[in-house]
Amino acid sequence: MTNYALEAQAYWRRWLPRTHANLTDPDFFYQQLGEDVQDRVIVVWDALTAIHLTPDITDHSKRAGLLRLLRREAEHTVIQALVQLPPEADTARPGTEPAAHQTRLSEFDSRLAQQQATIRDLLEGDRSVSETSDTELTQALQLMPELLAALGTSLDELRALGREI
Protein backbone atom coordinates (compact mmCIF):
# COMPACT_ATOMS: atom_id res chain seq x y z
CA MET A 1 0.00 0.00 0.00
CA THR A 2 1.12 3.56 -0.68
CA ASN A 3 1.67 6.05 2.12
CA TYR A 4 -1.54 7.77 1.04
CA ALA A 5 -3.44 4.48 1.38
CA LEU A 6 -2.00 3.89 4.84
CA GLU A 7 -2.83 7.45 5.89
CA ALA A 8 -6.38 7.08 4.60
CA GLN A 9 -6.82 3.74 6.34
CA ALA A 10 -5.60 5.18 9.65
CA TYR A 11 -7.85 8.22 9.31
CA TRP A 12 -10.94 6.21 8.39
CA ARG A 13 -10.33 3.69 11.21
CA ARG A 14 -10.10 6.55 13.69
CA TRP A 15 -12.71 8.99 12.40
CA LEU A 16 -15.03 6.83 10.23
CA PRO A 17 -15.05 3.51 12.13
CA ARG A 18 -18.51 2.38 11.05
CA THR A 19 -17.84 3.10 7.41
CA HIS A 20 -14.46 1.37 7.66
CA ALA A 21 -16.12 -1.68 9.27
CA ASN A 22 -18.69 -1.82 6.44
CA LEU A 23 -16.15 -1.93 3.60
CA THR A 24 -16.44 -5.26 1.80
CA ASP A 25 -12.80 -5.28 0.67
CA PRO A 26 -10.93 -2.70 2.74
CA ASP A 27 -7.48 -3.55 1.35
CA PHE A 28 -8.64 -2.98 -2.22
CA PHE A 29 -10.58 0.16 -1.27
CA TYR A 30 -7.62 1.78 0.51
CA GLN A 31 -5.20 0.74 -2.20
CA GLN A 32 -7.46 2.34 -4.82
CA LEU A 33 -8.02 5.43 -2.66
CA GLY A 34 -4.25 5.78 -2.20
CA GLU A 35 -3.70 5.55 -5.97
CA ASP A 36 -6.48 8.07 -6.60
CA VAL A 37 -4.93 10.49 -4.13
CA GLN A 38 -1.47 9.99 -5.64
CA ASP A 39 -2.77 10.66 -9.17
CA ARG A 40 -4.57 13.85 -8.09
CA VAL A 41 -1.57 15.10 -6.09
CA ILE A 42 0.55 14.90 -9.23
CA VAL A 43 -2.02 16.85 -11.26
CA VAL A 44 -2.35 19.57 -8.60
CA TRP A 45 1.43 19.71 -8.10
CA ASP A 46 1.95 20.13 -11.85
CA ALA A 47 -0.57 22.97 -11.89
CA LEU A 48 1.10 24.67 -8.93
CA THR A 49 4.59 24.35 -10.41
CA ALA A 50 3.40 25.74 -13.74
CA ILE A 51 2.51 28.98 -11.97
CA HIS A 52 5.11 29.24 -9.21
CA LEU A 53 8.26 27.70 -10.66
CA THR A 54 9.37 30.58 -12.85
CA PRO A 55 12.58 30.61 -14.91
CA ASP A 56 13.99 33.44 -12.78
CA ILE A 57 14.37 31.05 -9.82
CA THR A 58 17.84 29.79 -10.68
CA ASP A 59 19.18 28.91 -7.25
CA HIS A 60 18.97 25.12 -6.91
CA SER A 61 18.16 25.09 -3.20
CA LYS A 62 15.38 27.67 -3.68
CA ARG A 63 13.89 25.65 -6.55
CA ALA A 64 14.07 22.43 -4.54
CA GLY A 65 12.51 24.11 -1.50
CA LEU A 66 9.72 25.58 -3.60
CA LEU A 67 9.04 22.20 -5.22
CA ARG A 68 8.78 20.57 -1.78
CA LEU A 69 6.46 23.31 -0.56
CA LEU A 70 4.23 23.01 -3.62
CA ARG A 71 4.16 19.23 -3.25
CA ARG A 72 2.98 19.57 0.37
CA GLU A 73 0.34 22.09 -0.69
CA ALA A 74 -0.90 19.71 -3.40
CA GLU A 75 -1.01 16.82 -0.92
CA HIS A 76 -2.93 18.90 1.60
CA THR A 77 -5.49 20.00 -1.00
CA VAL A 78 -6.16 16.48 -2.26
CA ILE A 79 -6.15 14.74 1.13
CA GLN A 80 -8.59 17.29 2.52
CA ALA A 81 -10.95 16.66 -0.39
CA LEU A 82 -10.71 12.86 -0.69
CA VAL A 83 -9.51 11.36 2.59
CA GLN A 84 -10.24 13.55 5.57
CA LEU A 85 -14.02 13.44 5.45
CA PRO A 86 -16.03 14.79 8.39
CA PRO A 87 -15.90 12.41 11.36
CA GLU A 88 -18.86 10.15 11.99
CA ALA A 89 -21.34 11.03 14.68
CA ASP A 90 -23.26 8.32 16.55
CA THR A 91 -24.45 6.86 13.26
CA ALA A 92 -22.64 6.29 9.99
CA ARG A 93 -22.79 9.31 7.70
CA PRO A 94 -24.22 8.78 4.25
CA GLY A 95 -21.86 9.45 1.39
CA THR A 96 -18.77 7.74 2.77
CA GLU A 97 -19.11 4.36 1.04
CA PRO A 98 -16.94 3.46 -1.97
CA ALA A 99 -19.55 4.59 -4.53
CA ALA A 100 -19.64 8.01 -2.87
CA HIS A 101 -15.83 8.09 -3.12
CA GLN A 102 -16.10 7.79 -6.89
CA THR A 103 -18.56 10.69 -6.89
CA ARG A 104 -16.12 12.78 -4.80
CA LEU A 105 -13.32 11.91 -7.24
CA SER A 106 -15.41 13.05 -10.18
CA GLU A 107 -16.41 16.26 -8.43
CA PHE A 108 -12.81 16.97 -7.45
CA ASP A 109 -11.55 16.33 -10.99
CA SER A 110 -14.25 18.54 -12.45
CA ARG A 111 -13.50 21.37 -9.99
CA LEU A 112 -9.76 21.04 -10.66
CA ALA A 113 -10.27 21.15 -14.43
CA GLN A 114 -12.41 24.28 -14.05
CA GLN A 115 -9.77 25.92 -11.84
CA GLN A 116 -7.02 25.11 -14.31
CA ALA A 117 -9.06 26.44 -17.24
CA THR A 118 -9.79 29.68 -15.40
CA ILE A 119 -6.13 30.16 -14.47
CA ARG A 120 -4.94 29.33 -17.97
CA ASP A 121 -7.42 31.82 -19.52
CA LEU A 122 -6.36 34.54 -17.08
CA LEU A 123 -2.63 34.01 -17.54
CA GLU A 124 -2.84 33.75 -21.32
CA GLY A 125 -4.94 36.91 -21.51
CA ASP A 126 -8.00 35.17 -22.98
CA ARG A 127 -10.05 36.75 -20.21
CA SER A 128 -9.53 39.46 -17.63
CA VAL A 129 -10.09 39.46 -13.89
CA SER A 130 -13.16 41.68 -14.37
CA GLU A 131 -14.63 39.13 -16.79
CA THR A 132 -14.18 36.31 -14.28
CA SER A 133 -16.91 35.57 -11.74
CA ASP A 134 -16.24 35.83 -8.02
CA THR A 135 -16.84 32.09 -7.68
CA GLU A 136 -14.30 31.26 -10.38
CA LEU A 137 -11.71 33.59 -8.85
CA THR A 138 -12.28 32.15 -5.38
CA GLN A 139 -11.84 28.60 -6.68
CA ALA A 140 -8.71 29.56 -8.62
CA LEU A 141 -7.26 31.24 -5.55
CA GLN A 142 -7.83 28.11 -3.47
CA LEU A 143 -5.50 26.31 -5.84
CA MET A 144 -2.98 29.11 -6.32
CA PRO A 145 -3.06 32.00 -3.86
CA GLU A 146 -0.35 33.99 -5.67
CA LEU A 147 -2.34 34.08 -8.90
CA LEU A 148 -3.64 37.61 -8.35
CA ALA A 149 -0.14 38.97 -7.85
CA ALA A 150 0.83 37.44 -11.19
CA LEU A 151 -2.17 39.23 -12.72
CA GLY A 152 -1.19 42.58 -11.21
CA THR A 153 -3.97 42.88 -8.65
CA SER A 154 -4.74 41.80 -5.09
CA LEU A 155 -7.61 40.56 -2.95
CA ASP A 156 -7.85 43.96 -1.25
CA GLU A 157 -8.04 45.70 -4.63
CA LEU A 158 -10.78 43.37 -5.86
CA ARG A 159 -12.73 43.68 -2.63
CA ALA A 160 -12.47 47.48 -2.86
CA LEU A 161 -14.12 47.14 -6.26
CA GLY A 162 -17.02 45.28 -4.63
CA ARG A 163 -15.99 41.78 -5.59
CA GLU A 164 -17.10 39.12 -3.08
CA ILE A 165 -13.96 37.06 -2.83
In a domain, 141, yes or no: yes
Q: Is the pLDDT of residue 120 over 60?
A: yes
Gap between the terminal Cα atoms of the chain: 40
Question: Each residue of 84-97: pLDDT tens digit?
Answer: 988 887 544 455 56
pLDDT bucket at 100, cuts 50 / 70 / 90: confident
| Domains in the chain, number | 1
At 125 the pLDDT is 84
Q: What percent of the chain has pLDDT over 90?
A: 28
Residue type present at position 147: L
In a domain, 21, yes or no: yes
For 23-97, where are the alpha helices, taking DSSP H only? 26-52, 60-82
User: Is 37 in contact with 83 (CB distance < 8 Å)?
Assistant: yes
User: Is 22 in contact with 96 (CB distance < 8 Å)?
Assistant: no
In a domain, 62, yes or no: yes
User: Is 107 in contact with 29 (CB distance < 8 Å)?
Assistant: no
At 42 the pLDDT is 95
Global model pTM greater than 0.75: no
**Cα-Cα-Cα-Cα dihedral sign, residues 100, 3, 65, 50:** negative
Which range of residues forms the domain containing residue 94?
3-160
In a domain, 95, yes or no: yes
In a domain, 88, yes or no: yes
In a domain, 128, yes or no: yes
Summary mean pLDDT of the chain: 83
Question: Each residue of 6-64: pLDDT tens digit?
Answer: 999 999 988 889 899 999 999 999 999 999 999 999 999 998 898 888 788 888 888 88
